[in-house]
A and B are shown apart, each in its own frame.
Chain A
Amino acid sequence: MGRAGPMRGVWLGINQGTVCFLLLSCFEALCRVASSIPPLHFLSPPCTRTRSRVGLFLDRLLSGLRHPSFWELPAKPETMLTLLALASVVLLGIVPEQSQAIVIYTGWERHALLGSDIRLSCSFFSWRWTSEDVTFSWTYRPDGSRDSISIFHYTGGAAYVDNKGPFRDRVEFVGNPGRRDGSILIKNLDFNDNGTFTCDAKNPPDIVGRPSSVRLLVFEKVPIQAGVITGAIIGVVLGLLVLIVVIYYLMRFLVARRVFSLSVSKHGKKKKEGSQQRQIKV
């Protein structure tokens, strides 16, 4: 898997969050249990003072456990399922696996016009702070070839670009290592630049990770993606249809209301005239 998706980071975050929650709840439970033992009564004020969300959840859980019916009837299937789900999430969180690996993100495929410039972006996710010895390196493998050459390297705060290979004087570093961005700009593209660009980033001591690749395709004329024009035509026509129907019903509604308000004002005028005449008579 050359490209790790952002979902991996989310999953790791969920695991770590669950582990933290379980640790907190264990600590709170231990505190309460300890404060109920007579020699350790002095613990009770600080333990029960914290009315955290974890504490409230634990209170409800403990009160449920104390209810006699909890121990008589077999547990309901819903509670069994939730307990099972929680247990599986805990197990997945406890297993360390690759929770400390660095994850590198680049695009999947980039399309560009002949003679234009393109920015290849590369960023990474790491559990450690960005160190000063962070390195980025880009390598290029032409289409149909099995060798890759190195075209860019950033290390020790300085960027080294290709000065001998096919990209000499065409590569520029436009990234921000402080913000974990190692993007490069390639200028004046040619058909020979079709190929795969691989970004490898290292954030010492977090160096275990898989490089991620982005494929570059250079076109003379950027082709229209299948279905764009189709969708546009269908959308416009259906939108016009809906608009016409809405306008038609709106006009009908407005005309009906105008007719209604006209008759009300006529009726009101007649009433006023009648009351005026009566006043004059008096």
Chain B
Amino acid sequence: MLLILLGVLIMHLIILILLIVSTAASTWSVGGDTSTDLWYSCMTSNGGYHCKPASSEDWIQAVQALMILSLLFCFFSLIAFVFQLFKLVKGGRFFFTAIFQILASVFVMCAAIIYTVMSPNDGATQFGYAYVLAWVAFPLTLISGLIYIVLRKKE
């Protein structure tokens, strides 16, 4: 039991770290020496690193909002998990934790889909590591949420 608990907690922390890195790093699109989205558009010229704020189009703002929301919900689910661990009756299920975690996964999925569909299609720009991390975080969060639904508090 303790082993399962520890494993679930470590998975939750890994998901949280993935979401933080994906939200904060401004490398959803890379191309040559430029990296854009989600917050800054930076260019590495011979002089150094020049950054300007990313374009404030509506879809980029929606992706920003959804990533931040998924991060917040993952954090709330962690707090709810620790809270329910001590307060739940025997045999009870971690419902709050599961709900928040599944909502977080839905938000990450929406953000990744919106970005995939709306990002400009140049031949030179590819998707960066922050985008890949967002797509990786989505199934992990979903699986974690489903585990919390199935998990029961024993003795």
State the A residues within 8 Å of B (CB): 223-234, 237-238
Contact = CB atoms under 8 A, between A and B. Distances in A.
B84 to A, nearest CB: 15
A237 B69 contact: yes
At the interface, is chain A mostly helix, strand, loop or mixed?
Answer: helix
A226 B56 contact: yes
A232 B69 CA distance: 12
Please list the 7 inter-chain residue pairs (A to B) with the smallest Cβ-Cβ separation, ordered nearest first: A226-B56, A233-B65, A229-B61, A230-B65, A230-B61, A230-B64, A234-B65
Contacts of B64: 230
Interface string B59-78: 00110111011001000000
Given A230-B61, A230-B64, A233-B62, A225 B56 contact: yes
Contact of A224 (B53, B56, B69, B72): B56
Nearest to A229: B61
Contact of A229 (B65, B68, B72): B65
B155 interface: no
A225 B57 CA distance: 9
A77 to B, nearest CB: 44
Residue in A223, A224, A233, A238 with the greatest tally of chain B CB atoms within 10 Å: A233
Nearest to B57: A224
Contact of B66 (A223, A227, A228, A233): A233
Contacts of A237: 69
Given A224-B61, A226-B61, A227-B61, A233 B56 contact: no
